[in-house]
């Protein structure tokens, strides 16, 4: 594994880049201009950039959010979101569904032939996150999840992330609740990273942008999360570039100053052999 200061030399070996958003392009409060500049330069060199994110929002909402953070449109060709691919799971589930998550995620359900109902009327659960991720933790939902498990409700997780950065702190995501529900023996359904549907969607978008199918050997995945980005790359057969300054930064040093031996050991535990590692994408 090589530790690099610039992505340019690594990008030269690939036609398509599948880049994570939260943790690589921004931290939930501010964007990293160097990351956007690296992707913009890659596109200028003829590469296709698909952003691949576990956001529960459809891609149109993520595009708006990126613009608000200052990520330019010319940094990417298209966006594949967990919300996009989860809509198929929602459509296939029982019609009466309970939405577990904040109101801001309602666009996920627009245009779908379902009925959102209270928990006790529901035949399925769609989780986009905690109701209030600023104050709540998975422990807050122990009784609710126990009730749902008692009724054997299928649990659709629209954001498989366990935690994400928000500024200088970590907040819990829907994946934390899905994990707890699964440990109770509940049936969970997930289409976002690290699962195959979101990568199929991203590769379809890449093929549309390039006008022809793209081989996995021509594709590089960039990310900072081991259970999503790293596992997704490994399980789906993509090369990986790992960004250390993300949610795991303090597990192998301090933000900005990773201990490279610890990084290698950390990734070895997950069976990952990145083609390159960077502190931040630049």
Q: Per-residue pLDDT tens for 63-118?
A: 999 999 999 999 999 999 999 999 999 999 999 999 999 999 999 999 999 999 99
Which of 240, 203, 208, 201 shows the shortest CA–CA distance to 224? 240
Please give the Cα distance from 221 to 126 (Å, whole number): 28
pLDDT of residue 109: 98
The whole-number average pLDDT for the span 34-44 is 97
Structural Rg of the chain based on CA atoms: 19
pLDDT of residue 280: 95
The confidence band for 276, taking pLDDT boundaries of 50, 70 and 90, is: very high
Sort residue 172 into left (φ over 0), alpha (ψ -120 to 50) or beta.
beta
pLDDT of residue 138: 97
Which of 227, 208, 206 shows the shortest CA–CA distance to 15? 206
Please give the Cα distance from 217 to 14 (Å, whole number): 8
- Over residues 142-193, the pLDDT tens digits come to 999 999 999 999 999 999 999 988 877 889 999 999 999 999 999 999 999 9
Query: To 5 degrees, how large is the angle CA 108–CA 111–CA 115?
Result: 80
Q: What is the 3-state secondary structure (H, E, C) of the chain?
A: CEECCCCHHHHCCCCEEEECCECCCECCCCECHHHHHHHHHHHHCCCEEEEEECCCCCHHHHHHHHHHHCCCHHHCCEEEEHHHHHHHHHHHCCCEEEEECCHHHHHHHCCCCCEECCHHHCCEEEECCCCCCCCCCHHHHHHHHHHHHHCCCCEEECCCCCEEEECCEEEECHHHHHHHHHHCCCCEEECCCCCHHHHHHHHHHHHHHHCCCCCHHHEEEEECCHHHHHHHHHHHCCEEEEECCCCCHHHCEECCEECHHHHHHHHHCCCCCCCEEECCCC
Query: To 5 degrees, how large is the angle CA 160–CA 162–CA 165?
Result: 115
Question: What sign results for the dihedral spanned by CA atoms 68, 72, 76, 77?
Answer: positive
Averaged pLDDT of the chain:
95
Instruction: Quote the distance between the C-alpha of residue 50 and its chain's center.
Output: 13
Please give the Cα distance from 105 to 81 (Å, whole number): 13
pLDDT of residue 246: 86
């Amino acid at each position: 594994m090589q530790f690099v200061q610039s992505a340019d030399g690594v990008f030269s070996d690939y036609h398509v880049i599948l880049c994570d958003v939260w943790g690589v392009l921004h931290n939930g409060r501010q964007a990293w201009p160097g990351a956007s500049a690296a992707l913009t330069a890659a596109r200028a060199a003829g590469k296709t950039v698909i952003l691949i994110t576990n956001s529960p929002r459809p891609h149109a909402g993520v595009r708006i959010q990126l613009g608000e953070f200052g990520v330019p449109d010319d940094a990417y060709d298209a966006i594949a979101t967990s919300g996009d691919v989860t809509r198929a799971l929602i459509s296939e589930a029982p019609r009466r569904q309970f939405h577990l998550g904040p109101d801001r995620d309602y666009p996920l359900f627009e245009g779908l032939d379902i009925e959102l109902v209270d928990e006790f009327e529901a035949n399925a659960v769609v989780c986009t996150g905690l109701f209030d991720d600023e104050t709540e933790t998975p422990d807050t939902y122990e009784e609710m999840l126990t009730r749902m498990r008692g009724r054997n409700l299928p649990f659709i997780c629209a954001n498989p992330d366990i935690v994400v950065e928000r500024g200088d702190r970590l907040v819990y995501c829907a994946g934390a609740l899905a994990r707890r529900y699964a440990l109770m023996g509940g049936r969970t359904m997930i289409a976002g990273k690290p699962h195959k549907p979101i990568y199929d969607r991203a590769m379809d978008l890449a093929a549309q942008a390039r006008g022809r199918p793209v081989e996995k050997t021509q594709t590089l995945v960039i990310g900072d999360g081991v259970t999503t980005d790293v596992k997704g790359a490994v399980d789906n057969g993509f090369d990986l570039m790992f960004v250390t300054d993300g949610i795991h930064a303090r597990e192998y040093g301090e933000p900005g100053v990773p201990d490279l031996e610890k990084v290698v050991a950390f990734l070895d535990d997950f069976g990952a052999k990145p083609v390159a590692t960077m502190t931040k994408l630049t």
